[in-house]
Structure 1
Amino acid sequence: MYTVKEVAELLDLTVHTIRFYTDKGLVPGLQRDKNNNRIFNDDSIHWLTGAKNLKKCGMSVEDIKKYVDLCLEGDATIEERYEIIRKQKEAVLAQLEEVKFMAEFITNKEEHYRDIINQVIPDDTNPAYWSKETPITSCALKTC
C-alpha cells in the first residue's frame, strides 16, 4: 500500500492532482486507512496512470470519468470507449497540425531576423519603420 505522497513521487504528479483525481472518481475502489487517509494499491496506481496519460492527451476530467465508468461496466462498452479514444485522437492530431504551423512560422521568422542581422535584407519587421508605401503583403505580415 502507498500513501498519497508516495504515489505522487512514483507517478510524478502533485499530491493535489492525486486528491483531485480521486475526488472526481477516477480511481475506483479507492481505500482509506483508519484515519480516513487515502491509501493506494497497485490497481489504484494503474487507474491513476491511465488518468494521467489520458489527461496528458488533452482529455477532460469529465471524459476520463466517463471512460472509467465505461471500463467498470466491462466488455459491452468497448465500442463506446473506442469512440472516446478516437475523438481524442482527432483532437490531438488537430493540435499537432497547429503546432507544426507554429514551428514553421517561428522558424521562418527566425531565419528572417537572421537575414536582417546579417544585413542581407532591411528590417521590415518593425511597424515604426513602415510607411504608407509599405505593401500589405510585407513579410512582416506573412509567415516569413
Structure 2
Amino acid sequence: MHTVKDVAKLLGLTEHTIRYYTDKGLVPNVQRDKNNNRLFNDENINFLIGAKNLKKCGMSVDEIKYYVDLCLEGDSTIQERYEIILTQKEAALAQLEEAKQRADFMIKKELHYRDILNKIIPDDTNPAKWVKDKLPTTHS
C-alpha cells in the first residue's frame, strides 16, 4: 500500500491533485488507515494514471468521472468508452492542427523579424508606424 506522498512522487502529481481526484471519485475503492489517511494499491494507482492521462488529453474531471463509472460497470460499456476515446482523439488532433498553425505563424514572424534586423526590409511590425491606408495584412 502507498501513501498520497508516495503516489505523488511516483506519478509526478501533486498531493493535492491526488486527494482531489480521490474526492471526485476518479479513484474507486481507496482504503484508509486507522488515522483516515488514504492508502493506494496497484489498481488505485492505475486509475490515477488513467485520470492523469485523460486530463492531459483535455478531458474534464466530470468527463473522467463518467468514464471511470463506465469502467466500473464492466464490459457492457466498452463501446461507449471507445466512443469517448474517439471523440477525445478528434479533439486532440484538432488541437494539434491549431498548434501547428500557431507554430507556422511564429516561424514566419521570426523570419520576417530576421529580415528586418538584417535590414532587408523596413520595420512594418510596429503599429505606431502604420499608415491608415496602408495597414499590413500578414504581420499583425
Coarse TM-score class (shorter-chain normalised): over 0.9
In the alignment, is the contact (CA less than 8 A) between 1:124 and 1:138 conserved in 2? Answer: no
- Contiguous gaps of at least 5 residues in structure 2: none
- Contiguous gaps of at least 5 residues in structure 1: none
Aligned residues: 140
Q: How far is the alpha carbon of 1:59 from its aligned partner? A: 0.7
Distance 1:131 1:137 in 2: 9
Q: How far is the alpha carbon of 1:132 from its aligned partner? A: 3.1
Aligned to 2:54: 54
Q: How far is the alpha carbon of 1:137 from its aligned partner? A: 4.6
Aligned to 1:75: 75
Distance 1:33 1:103, change over 3 A: same
Identity, in percent, stands at: 69
| Partner SS state of residue 139, structure 1 | coil
TM-score (norm 1): 0.93
Give the ranges of 4+ consecutive aligned residues of structure 1 lying more than 6 Å apart after TM superposition: none
TM-score (norm 2): 0.96
In the alignment, is the contact (CA less than 8 A) between 1:31 and 1:39 conserved in 2? Answer: yes
Q: What is the root-mean-square deviation of aligned Cα atoms in Å?
A: 1.0
Aligned to 1:107: 107
In the alignment, is the contact (CA less than 8 A) between 1:7 and 1:45 conserved in 2? Answer: yes
Aligned to 1:84: 84
Q: How far is the alpha carbon of 1:138 from its aligned partner? A: 3.8
Q: Which amino acid aligns with 1:139?
A: T
Q: How far is the alpha carbon of 1:133 from its aligned partner? A: 4.0
Q: Which amino acid aligns with 1:80?
A: E
Aligned to 1:139: 138
Q: How far is the alpha carbon of 1:129 from its aligned partner? A: 1.3
| Partner SS state of residue 140, structure 1 | coil
